[in-house]
Structures are given as structure tokens and as C-alpha cells.
Structure 1
Amino acid sequence: MKSYRGYLIDLDGTLFRGTEVIPEALSFMDQLSKANIPYLYLTNNSSRPPEKVAEKLRDFGFPAAPDQVYTSAQATAQYLQDEMNSPSVFVIGEEGLVRAVAGAGCEITEDRPQAVVVGIDRQFTYEKMKKASLAIRAGAAFIGTNADRALPTEEGLLPGSGSLSAGIAAATGIEPLFIGKPQPIILRYALQKLRTTPEETLIVGDNLETDIRAGVNGGIDTLLVFTGITTPEMAEQSSIRATYEVNRLSEWNI
């Protein structure tokens, strides 16, 4: 196993499960912190701003500052700013996404937006879907924070933001541009923030379809941990291959 100068680390299923911390993850993060190895908590969840994500992590006992968190909302906002010159946007999403888009200099509007951005929105309505569909049919760019159709919670798998985007895609006949894992866009921005190259970075996660596929797509080594959504049997049967696999993070040497 080679040594890595930077880590991109998934949250749910990797560091905690719902409201339950994964004990081995605490010692893993403590080792990273003590070794002064830079890392980012990389999440597809767009609902919370970085400071609230960091606060939740600290409540679990993890070392976390807001600038060590990078969300799909932040990556989406950065894309809007860098690639679309901060367009006017109709946002379907929660606080984390709204704040990130506004912070990128975009006007948030329902009146003839240049882009429609869709993240997780637990107050999603037919009216929002109608406005998004009309705007996209009128020429607005269609962007999704991530393609995750299911969101793991204590209740079970609930509809994710990808389900909302899928509904709008069905209504318009237009597929969204997704930003979050496993797309390379979020990885490009995360590496810029981490200041490491793909060759010297490791992605750590529990999900073959998002975390591990992201590494495969981006040419970054991956560590699959079997504490979340992916089981060893699923990994064995999948065509997606992680660089490394461990049952728990305590088996990994920093």
C-alpha cells in the first residue's frame, strides 16, 4: 500500500450511520489529524452548509472545521460561477444549496431563470416541479447536485435529490448535468481545495456507485469500507473495483 498526501472522505456509512458513530472511524480520523495529512469531508448531501456539517461531525467526536467540508452544493455553486458566469437560478433545495448558490453571485429567481438547480428538498411540491419544467423547456440549463435516487436514513432508504431530478427529467425530456459524486466535476474542485493531485490522493467511502465509481472516473485510488451500504458480496459481484477494501477503517494504515 502506498502512502497518500491527501484524503477525500465520505460521511454517512463511512464515519457514521445515521445518528450512530462508527468507532473505528474516530481513531482513523484522529490518526490523519495527528499526521498532519490534509483531508476533506466530501459529501453529496446539499442540504446543510459546511459549518453545520462540521458541527455535526464535531458532535460525533471528529476533528472538523467548515473549510474541511466540501459538499455537492458548494461544487454546484462553483460550477455556476466558473462555467456559467453566475447566472440567474431557480433553486429547488434546502439551506445549504440556497446559501451556496447565492454566495456564488447568482440571482435566485423564479422569473425566467437561466438555470434550474435541483438538490434534496424535503418541501418539494408539484408547483416547484411545474416551475422548473417550464423554465427548462424555455431554455434554462438543468443542473442536479447529485444523482443519488435514495438517501439512507434511520427510517430506511428515502427519496434522494436524484429522484427529484429524475421526475423533472421525465417531465421535460431533458437530462440534468450532475455535479456530485461520481461525476468528475466535484472531484476537480475538491482536489483544487485540497491542493493535491489525483495520483497522491485517496478516496475513502462505503458506496461503490458514488464514492468508488468517482475514483474510477477521476483516476484516483479508492478505499472501500464495508461499514455502510456496500457489502463484500456486492463488491465481489460488481464490475466497479476499489483499489483497496477493508472491513473497517481500523485495518487501514495511514
Structure 2
Amino acid sequence: MTELSSWTYLMDMDGVLVHENVMVPGADEFLAELREQGMPFMVFTNNSIYTQRDLRARLLRSGLDVPESAIWTSALATARFLENQRPGGSAYVVGESGLTTALHGIGYVLTDSDPDYVVLGETRTYSFEAITKAIRLVEGGARFIATNPDEKGPSPQGTLPATGAVAALIERVTGCAPYYIGKPNPLMMRSALRALGEHSENTLMIGDRMDTDVRSGLESGMQTILVLSGISDKNTAERFPYRPTKVVDSIADLIGHIHDPLPV
């Protein structure tokens, strides 16, 4: 068992801390306890639309005080990956400010003229023109990166197509599959751990999805906790060939147990 004082917490945002922009009861107390005890933590989202500042403001409106430095997105993970792969490169981006800001932050040039990469992210304004441009650039030799594989997302009006669905369209036309950076790719977890200066063997991943949160945690060598406050129910874990370390109703069940959150 890991030493009681050494846990690092990684947690998904939607379904764990907030649900449809409403705070999950107890999330504020849980984060306050982590801060009081000096426990490192990072909040995750596969959504690449928003910057860290945007997401901090969104969480504040829900009653949660999370510093920008404790927020990690698929856009930031994508930027970190590209910085390591091809420093000072160029990209044609289909996405919004969260992604373009992250790429500008690593010194990338955003261009539609012979870019090193086509980078596809989440956006609410996919255009036929932009997708066609991306297809032609991939056909011309640009490497194809996508921030996350999520095929659909929720909205007050109903289901929306997401990055994975648009990536499938581009792949179908070009024959080139993208490299996905976000969950369940454990690369996203590892990039966050490097940013924190922590190690996987001392880390807990808390999420509401078996196919992204729990899987990426397991493949990164972490202990995992599935919460039932998002899309999963008590039978969800049984449908997968792998299991989380622990299942709880919500993050509120971990209050008072942050040093010993797992079964002995």
C-alpha cells in the first residue's frame, strides 16, 4: 500500500466535479480537503474548446475554486506532445481558442500552407470548407493529429457530433487515421504527471467512464476510482474486461478518506 501522505489525485471534470454545469454535491469540500492537506491534484477534460482560464471561470460559476495550473485539457496534452515531437513546427488547426492558445504557447505557427500537422479539435462551428482543407492537407502529407476520440457530446438541445466523428470523416476520405492524444490514451495522464512532477504509482485517477477515465488510469499504472455521479451506474463496471480499484457513488464518499481512499 502506498504511504498514506503520498497520493496524487487526477480527476475528470464532467461527471465527477460537475454534472451539466451543476456542482456534484461534496465536490467543493473534497477539493478544499485536498488543498488543506497539501495533496497534489489535477482536473481533466477531453474537451479542447476552452482555455484553462475559461474552465476556471466555468468551475467558479459552479461553486468550485480550481486554479488554472490544476486544469489539464486534451489541447494542452496535444501541445506538449507536438512540442516534444517537432519543436517550433507548424499546424493547420480545426478547433477553438483552447487549442489555438495551447499551440501558440509552444511557439507553433498556425498556417494552411504546407503545415507539419493537421490538428483536429473540438468546435461548435465545424465548416465544410475547413474540413475540406484539412483533408487536402492530409492528402498532401501533413501528419494527422486529433485531440480526443470522443464521437459525440451532450448539449441542452441533444447530441452533438464531436472530434472523433469528424476525424472519422477525414480518415474515411484520406485513408489516414489520426493519432489521438486525449483519453483513453495514457499519454494525457503521463503529460499531466510530468507537469505535476509526480509518479503514477502514487496516483489515483477518478472518473465516471470506464472506457476513458478508468482505462487510461490503468494503462498509466495508476489506481482508479469509478464514481456513479456521471454516466456510469452500479452495473457499468461489470460490462468491461477490466475493473476499477474502487467504485463509489460520488466524490463526496472520499471526503475524510483522502489519505486512505482504497480498500485495504
TM-score (norm 1): 0.96
Aligned ranges for residues 10-29 of structure 1 at < 5 Å?
Answer: 10-29=12-31
Amino acid at match of 1:137: E
Deviation at 1:128, TM superposition (A): 1.0
Amino acid at match of 2:162: G
Amino acid at match of 1:187: M
Counterpart of 2:123 in 1: which secondary structure? coil
Which among 238, 251, 264 is matched to residue 236 of structure 1?
238
Where in structure 1 are there 5+ consecutive unaligned residues?
A: none
In the alignment, the residues of structure 1 paired with residue 167 and residue 239 of structure 2 have an alpha-carbon distance, to the nearest angstrom, of: 28
Alignment partner of 1:227 is 2:229: yes
8 Å CA contact 2:25, 2:252 repeated in 1: no
Amino acid at match of 2:129: E
8 Å CA contact 1:6, 1:194 repeated in 2: no
Alignment partner of 1:218 is 2:200: no
8 Å CA contact 1:46, 1:120 repeated in 2: yes
8 Å CA contact 1:8, 1:202 repeated in 2: yes
TM-score (norm 2): 0.92
Counterpart of 1:40 in 2: which secondary structure? strand
Counterpart of 1:142 in 2: which secondary structure? strand
8 Å CA contact 1:133, 1:171 repeated in 2: yes
In the alignment, the residues of structure 1 paired with residue 158 and residue 185 of structure 2 have an alpha-carbon distance, to the nearest angstrom, of: 25
In the alignment, the residues of structure 1 paired with residue 215 and residue 183 of structure 2 have an alpha-carbon distance, to the nearest angstrom, of: 8
**Partner in structure 2 of residue 113 of structure 1:** 115
Deviation at 1:10, TM superposition (A): 0.6
Deviation at 1:162, TM superposition (A): 1.2
Q: Deviations over 1:200-225 (max 9, x none)?
A: 01111101111111012111111100
Counterpart of 1:180 in 2: which secondary structure? coil
Deviation at 1:40, TM superposition (A): 0.7
8 Å CA contact 1:89, 1:114 repeated in 2: yes
Amino acid at match of 1:48: Y
Counterpart of 1:70 in 2: which secondary structure? strand
**Partner in structure 1 of residue 173 of structure 2:** 171
Deviation at 1:157, TM superposition (A): 3.2
Which among 61, 71, 89 is matched to residue 69 of structure 1?
71
In the alignment, the residues of structure 1 paired with residue 220 and residue 102 of structure 2 have an alpha-carbon distance, to the nearest angstrom, of: 24
Amino acid at match of 1:99: T
Aligned ranges for residues 171-210 of structure 1 at < 5 Å?
Answer: 171-210=173-212
Counterpart of 2:110 in 1: which secondary structure? coil
8 Å CA contact 2:118, 2:143 repeated in 1: yes
In the alignment, the residues of structure 2 paired with residue 198 and residue 13 of structure 1 have an alpha-carbon distance, to the nearest angstrom, of: 23
Aligned ranges for residues 57-136 of structure 1 at < 5 Å?
Answer: 57-136=59-138
Counterpart of 2:104 in 1: which secondary structure? helix
Which among 39, 53, 63 is matched to residue 51 of structure 1?
53
8 Å CA contact 2:206, 2:224 repeated in 1: yes
Q: Deviations over 1:102-128 (max 9, x none)?
A: 111111011111100000111111111
Amino acid at match of 1:44: N
Deviation at 1:74, TM superposition (A): 0.7
Percent of residue pairs identical = 35
**Partner in structure 1 of residue 155 of structure 2:** 153
Count how many residue pairs are aligned between Structure 1 and Structure 2.
Answer: 254
In the alignment, the residues of structure 2 paired with residue 187 and residue 177 of structure 1 have an alpha-carbon distance, to the nearest angstrom, of: 16
In the alignment, the residues of structure 1 paired with residue 34 and residue 138 of structure 2 have an alpha-carbon distance, to the nearest angstrom, of: 44
8 Å CA contact 1:116, 1:136 repeated in 2: yes
Instruction: Check 1:153–1:235 CA distance in 2 against 1; reply closer, same or farther (3 A cut).
Output: farther
**Partner in structure 1 of residue 261 of structure 2:** none
Deviation at 1:7, TM superposition (A): 0.7
CA RMSD of aligned residues (A): 1.4
